[in-house]
Amino acid sequence: MDVSIEKSWKERLSDEFQKEYFTELVNFIRKEYSASTVFPPGKYIFNAFNHCPLEKVKVVIIGQDPYHGLNQAHGLCFSVRDGIAHPPSLINIFKEIGNDLGYSYPETGNLERWADQGVFLLNATLTVRAHSAGSHQNRGWEMFTDNVIRIISENRNSVVFFLWGSYAQKKGATIDRDRHLVLESVHPSPLSAHRGFFGNKHFTECNEYLIFSGQDPIDWH
């Protein structure tokens, strides 16, 4: 199956695209896009991959579903397009960055500026039906993204993985912790952020590790 995705990822995932589960997933997704409103728009499904080739991955942030509201999702977890109101979890991420690094609150919630520096913003499920959270779960995306995480763990060195919340922590169970830095806390959701997300200093810890391992730090502005 020919999938439109960045070259280095296409090479690494070519076997995955031929598997039966992925064919079934694609058939399901095509039907969903033709029958109802699905986010993100089709051209953005692999946006995280297209902005961040495998050889440039330095940081991985794992989300769950794309946003399911109009004009929000564009293929990068926690990110929204320019001009779109910031969802609560993203607001809390920016608050922690401000507290941790002293940065002022940004105008845009578009995180392409992070992705282009090597921050791989991966949702476990890459599509969702409008206004229906979790509607594309358990259709094959999770198997696909588990393999993406495994590929990063096995083929890159000294990557920082942000695992916020129990879902992301389970998703990261196969990461080689001798080879990479894994930072865990509760989720930045308003329901849990005050129980350990605020004050986790993950952004400072990430940059210190990148510098120690001979890499450029991330500009988290």
* CA-based nearest residue to 200, from 221, 180, 184: 184
Q: Which residues of the chain have pLDDT under 50?
A: none
Find residue 162's DSSP bridge partners: 61, 183
Helix H or strand E segment including 35: helix 20-35
Q: Which tens digit of pLDDT belongs to each residue from 147-171?
A: 999 999 999 999 999 999 999 999 9
Q: Rounded CA gap, 159 and 100, in Å?
A: 20
Please name the amino acid found at residue 111: L
176 a catalytic residue: no
Residue matched to tokens 């080689």: 176
pLDDT at 2: 80
Q: For residue 183, what are its two tokens?
A: 């930072």
Over the stretch 16-52, which tens digit does the pLDDT of each residue have? 999 999 999 999 999 999 999 999 999 999 999 999 9
Question: What does the alpha-carbon distance between residue 218 and residue 57 come to, in Å, rounded to a whole number?
Answer: 11
Active-site pick, 2, 65, 146, 178: 65
C-alpha closest to that of 171 among 97, 63, 28: 63
**Rounded distance between C-alpha atoms, residue 175 and residue 62, angstroms:** 12
